[in-house]
Amino acid sequence: MNPDHLLADLDLPAGARVVVAMSGGVDSSVCAGLLAEAGFDVVGITMQLYDHGQATGRAGSCCAGRDIRDARAVADRLGIPHFVLDYEERFRRQVIDEFAAGYAAGRTPIPCVRCNERIKFGDLLESAQELGAAALVTGHYVRRLRTLERTELHRGRDSAKDQSYFLFATTDRQLARLRFPLGGLTKAETRAHAQRLGLPVAEKAESQDICFVPDGDHASVVTALRPEAGQSGEIVDDAGRVLGRHKGLAGITVGQRRGLGVAAPERMYVTEIDPVSRRVTIAPKARARMRSALLDRLHLVGAAAAGELPGEVMAKHRYNEPAQPATVQRDEAGRVEVVFREPQLGIARGQACVLYDGSRLLGGGWIERAAA
């Protein structure tokens, strides 16, 4: 890809100061490299968000993580200043605690959205402004497109990497100061840039789903903070018959099929989690599908006016599920119901339901409950 093209897309004055949020991974490293190459005054910042020892209650780990060292090595290679800002306390309060509390309350939380909303596009964006930066640059695979009237967010060109789902809560004020140079690239192109720029992280593996959860074992992080989420409870079918016991809500999500330890003639899926009785209800596929998702409210991205929502949208109720055709209904109280054309498995409280018109991200909301 032509770097001049990238420069034109970024909609920034030549040579402007930009802060690049550098995680130590390939994506944000390439962002820093491309912007430095294009002549911007790049300042790299790595957010110190957690250490695995604290997150899991295990002692003896140091805050100097591998990722911070990688980010520093990339910055050194590019000859740009690099700093580490300490957001540990805010991250614990605003992201990790809420993540654990969500599971304890029978929800399936998405910490990445909260982190973007509150930490990256909140505190870090503010710090970038303090440092005189014209924009904060991140390695998200999303496209920020300007029309005459407004700024829109679109899916990343690489559909396998598209991260627009996690950005549904971005405000217009934030969007005005954010840039995503990787939105038009595929992951393979990003790695090729990393090679070309000689970045020491070019071969680095993809990061984990949830950055502060080591080895994908989120249940142990949750139960360390919320011991009640590790208490067992009954597993019942949709007629109320007790089929077995689970080992705690920390490991359970709506739509889950495996790992319940229940023997049944058919495949059974989790349909309901009651945090008070800790009872988990399962049902065969035919009765586990839900028609609609009720959202707390509808957050609209890029000044998508209320009346402007198309009659039919594409709705994604889980990051790993493809978007499905749906209609959006709103009542007087402002409550929003997303009605899917085909009933869906795994519409879970705490997940986001995100709406698209083609590649354009319209907005979304937090799922309060599913309805049959």
Active site residues: 115, 211
Phi, psi of 277 (to 5 degrees): -85, -10
Least distance CB 308 / other proteins (angstroms):
35
Q: Judged by CB under 8 A, does residue 235 bind other proteins?
A: no
Which residue lies nearer to other proteins by CB, 1 or 84?
84
Which residue lies nearer to other proteins by CB, 80 or 347?
80
Least distance CB 39 / other proteins (angstroms):
17
Which residue lies nearer to other proteins by CB, 130 or 332?
130
Least distance CB 123 / other proteins (angstroms):
10
Which residue lies nearer to other proteins by CB, 60 or 307?
60
Q: Judged by CB under 8 A, does residue 129 bind other proteins?
A: yes
Q: Is 80 helix (H, G, I), strand (E, B) or coil?
A: coil
Q: Judged by CB under 8 A, does residue 73 bind other proteins?
A: no
Which of 8, 131, 303, 372 touches other proteins by CB under 8 A? 131
| Count of positions on this chain that bind other proteins (CB under 8 A) | 18
Q: Is residue 156 within 8 Å of 183, Cβ to Cβ?
A: yes
Q: What is the CA radius of gyration of the chain?
A: 22
Q: Please say whether the dihedral angle defined by the alpha carbons of residues 154, 155, 158 and 161, taken in this order, is positive or negative.
A: positive
Q: Judged by CB under 8 A, does residue 63 bind other proteins?
A: yes
Which of 54, 127, 151, 327 touches other proteins by CB under 8 A? 127
Per DSSP, helices labelled H in the chain are 3-10, 26-37, 52-56, 66-78, 88-91, 97-104, 111-114, 125-130, 172-176, 187-196, 218-225, 285-288
The string over 262-280, giving b where at least 16 C-beta atoms fall within 10 Å of a residue's C-beta and e elsewhere, is eeeeeebbbbbbebeebbb
Least distance CB 211 / other proteins (angstroms):
15
Least distance CB 47 / other proteins (angstroms):
9
Binding mask 132-161 toward other proteins (x if CB under 8 A, else -) reads x-----------------------------
Q: At what angle do helices 26-37 and 66-78 cross, to 10 degrees?
A: 20
Q: Judged by CB under 8 A, does residue 231 bind other proteins?
A: no
Which residue lies nearer to other proteins by CB, 62 or 160?
62
Structure tokens at 227: 């011991």
Which of 84, 224, 262, 323 touches other proteins by CB under 8 A? 84
Least distance CB 132 / other proteins (angstroms):
5
Q: Label residue 5 exposed, middle or buried (CB < 10 Å: 0-12, 13-18, 19+).
A: exposed
| Residue from 42, 8, 47 nearest 25 by CA | 47
Q: Judged by CB under 8 A, does residue 62 bind other proteins?
A: yes
Which of 15, 57, 86, 371 touches other proteins by CB under 8 A? 86
Q: Label residue 328 exposed, middle or buried (CB < 10 Å: 0-12, 13-18, 19+).
A: buried
What are the residues binding other proteins (CB under 8 A)?
Answer: 43, 48, 62-65, 68, 72, 81, 83-86, 127, 129-132
